[in-house]
Amino acid sequence: MASSPGSQLRGSRFLITGAKGFIGAWIVKNLVERGDRPVIFDVDTEAHRLRALLTIDQLGRVEFVRGDVTSYDDLDRGVADHGITHLIHLAALQVPACAADPLLGARINVLGTLNVFEIARRRRDLVKRIVYASSAAVFGPEEFYGAGTVREGAPLHPGTHYGVFKQCNEGNARVYHASHGISSVGLRAWAVYGVGRDQGITSGPTKAIKAAVVGRPYTIRFTGQIDLQYVDDCARTFLRCAEEDLSGARAYTLRGAVVRIDRFIQTLEQVCPPARGLIRAEGQHLPIAPDLDDSALVRDLGSVPRTPLDQGIRQTVEIFERLQRDGQLDTKDLDT
Ligand SMILES: NC(=O)c1ccc[n+]([C@@H]2O[C@H](COP(=O)([O-])OP(=O)(O)OC[C@H]3O[C@@H](n4cnc5c(N)ncnc54)[C@H](O)[C@@H]3O)[C@@H](O)[C@H]2O)c1
């Protein structure tokens, strides 16, 4: 993102829940690079993704608040103490964790999101914007919709607790707008890839890129078509939606490169020739329609960042190579 005076000069202050995670680290990177001093609210004590992306100097411009989104008081203090005007809510458990423990999944993914909205309602003089992570998992499998692109407004038919929780959050956002005039944007990502993606079912493509860089064989555990979205595009879209004047309760579908997994592997081999023969894929198709229309987002934002797949892979390779040269490349995730 082009450097500009931080938005704090314009009286804005961002708090990002779950920003020690993958997408959050890239949102923080974008904010810090343009001069902001964002507040990170996360239950984790570790910050390995942020350390991989930010310099020590840049990390010094980030405020860390350790807290749990299931605690109204923790989050409310984080918002009030730092004069937060823009809330970006990412903290969540992923698909496998929600499947393993749906009660905990609901506490974090649903009640945690309700806390965000309730704080925005009670502190409406302070909090002006909410953008939260929904997911393409609100959609059902390809067979449910038939062949071709799934149009905006198609019925939601999530097949996992995780997807149902995300759909529930979109519903609660709608009610907060209808009942209390709280506007929000929910963004439905599909499979986001890039440095820092080290967990969840769709982390396979990023792990394959890392394996290619270190020259190790790697098997992606699914096949079929997916929508690969470069993480910096995703981070910028969160920030655009936080800063545009979008009223109402909007839920936008994101779209990146819709490709078959074997096409992804071919592209990786072209960008990183040592990967030839190391990467393969096996297993089922993922149960989410991969070809989703994002025309509502394009209509409302005018344009959306869409890094071509080969460039996204190249940028990811370059960062992994730098981390490897600096002795900072963690490859433990390749074993999981
Ligand atoms: N990565 C993707 O491809 C993708 C796709 C669709 C939707 N999403 C959604 O985007 C958001 C961010 O995804 P990600 O890949 O960066 O996830 P991630 O798992 O890397 O990060 C999640 C972060 O939330 C934090 N967290 C978990 N429980 C918490 C709690 N109770 N209180 C405070 N913090 C807590 C974790 O410590 C972690 O830092 C999530 O809501 C996810 O469901 C991600």
Q: What is the pLDDT of residues 2-21, one digit of tens each?
A: 344 566 656 899 999 999 99
SS3 39: strand
Q: Which atom of ligand 1 is nearest to the CA of 23?
A: 16
SS3 301: helix
pLDDT at 121 over 70: yes
Q: What is the mean pLDDT of the chain?
A: 95
Report CA(177)–ligand 1 centroid distance (Å): 24
Q: How far apart are CA 60 and CA 56, in angstroms?
A: 6
Q: What is the pLDDT of residues 174-227, one digit of tens each?
A: 999 999 999 999 999 999 999 999 998 899 999 999 999 999 999 999 999 999
Which domains does the chain show, CATH number per domain?
8-335 (3.40.50.720)
Q: Ligand 1, atom 30: nearest CA belongs to which residue?
A: 68
Only one residue has tokens 């904010």, namely 31
Average pLDDT over residues 279-293: 96
Residue 105 neighbours by CB under 8 Å, 6+ apart: 93, 97, 98, 99, 161, 162, 165
Give me the pLDDT at residue 1, please. Answer: 39
Q: Who has greater pLDDT, 106 or 3?
A: 106
Report CA(135)–ligand 1 centroid distance (Å): 11
Task: Establish whether residue 44 lines the binding site of ligand 1, counting it when its CB lies within 6 angstroms of any ligand atom.
Answer: yes
pLDDT at 26 over 90: yes
* Ligand 1 site-directed mutation target among 70, 114, 135, most atoms within 8 Å of CB: 135
Q: Which atom of ligand 1 is nearest to the CA of 44?
A: 37
Task: Establish whether residue 255 lines the binding site of ligand 1, counting it when its CB lies within 6 angstroms of any ligand atom.
Answer: no
Task: Establish whether residue 20 lines the binding site of ligand 1, counting it when its CB lies within 6 angstroms of any ligand atom.
Answer: yes
Contact between 228 and 262 (Cβ < 8 Å): no
Q: Ligand 1, atom 34: nearest CA belongs to which residue?
A: 42
Give me the pLDDT at residue 160, please. Answer: 96
* Ligand 1 site-directed mutation target among 17, 23, 89, 103, most atoms within 8 Å of CB: 23
Report CA(67)–ligand 1 centroid distance (Å): 14
Q: What is the pLDDT of residues 60-98, one digit of tens each?
A: 999 999 999 999 999 999 999 999 999 999 999 999 999
Calculate the CA 75 to chain-centre distance: 20
Q: What is the pLDDT of residues 150-173, one digit of tens each?
A: 999 999 999 999 999 999 999 999
Q: Which residues pair with 122 in a beta bridge?
A: none
Report CA(90)–ligand 1 centroid distance (Å): 5
